[in-house]
Amino acid sequence: MIKFYFHHTPNPMKVALFLEEAALPYQLVPVDVFRGEQHDPAFRAINPNGKMPAIEDDGVRVFDSNAILLYLGDKTGKFIGQAEDRGELLSWLMFVATGLGPYSGQSVHFKHYAPEKLPYAVNRYHREAQRHYDVLNQHLNNQSYLAGDEYTIVDMAAWGWVDRAPGVLGDNALVDYPQLKRWFETVDSRPAVSRARQVGKDLTFKADMDEESLRAMFPQNYAEA
């Protein structure tokens, strides 16, 4: 059975969605990132990068949410689209991995968690997040899903971050991106999304972003020179 190392943040939610869509059995292993459990040696043996999520599949470790989606998609043959769309699938999956996710995360960080409000950084990452949303919106002008005509792991990957659009870009964030809004509502209405949202609901994670949490989430900011 798959061990799924989980915290209810955007990247693990992508994997939760795949597992629910594919009806794969899994064991949920909570990792409280606000308490620094991602830095425990036992977890670092599974993900040397100390980030969520990760899985273990019969002795095979896979870390990074987008790598996990690709691994599970190839393993099961589900949600990987048509062979002729493989280039599109890989391209858009990497777009999420290297663009949409990181820039959205940095936008949230500098707006909400940075100890100083640096106008340049806030503007830089907000505008880059907007740009990535615009790329997706334009891409969806003439198609229903991100990698061809089928719902795939790329849609799951993007859903994990677009679901947090209000935190990234502000309230009513999708109003300016009508095609992306239409796509999001289509994906978000899937029954598996409702099930994914319930994953870990019975778990108690630390919620306060206090000094302990800041040190756990951003340890490099506190490293000695």
pLDDT by residue (tens digit) across 112-123? 888 888 999 999
Kindly list the domain boundaries of the chain, sorted by start residue: 2-78+195-222, 83-189
pLDDT digits 0-9 by tens, 11-37: 999 999 999 999 999 999 999 999 999
pLDDT surpassing 60 at residue 82: yes
Q: What average pLDDT score do residues 88-106 get?
A: 97
Tokens of 22: 């594919």
When pLDDT is cut at 50, 70 and 90, the band that residue 222 belongs to is confident
In words, the CATH class of domain 2-78+195-222 is: alpha beta
Residue 29, beta-bridge partner list: 5
pTM over 0.85: yes
Distance CA 14, CA 178 (A): 22
- How would residue 221 be classed by pLDDT, with cut points 50, 70 and 90? confident
pLDDT of residue 63 exceeding 60: yes
Same fold, 2-78+195-222 and 83-189: no
Q: What is the pLDDT of residues 110-163, one digit of tens each?
A: 998 888 889 999 999 999 999 999 999 999 999 999 998 999 999 999 999 999
pLDDT in the model for residue 214: 84
Architecture per CATH, domain 83-189, reads as Up-down Bundle (1.20)
Q: Which residues of 113-136 are buried (b: 16+ CB within 10 A; e: fewer)?
A: eeeeeeeebbeebbebbbebbeeb
Tell me the percentage of the chain whose pLDDT exceeds 70. 99
The residue that leads in pLDDT, 64 or 171, is 64
Task: State yes or no: cis peptide before 48, omega within 30 of 0.
Answer: no
Lowest mean pLDDT among 8-12, 118-122, 208-212: 208-212
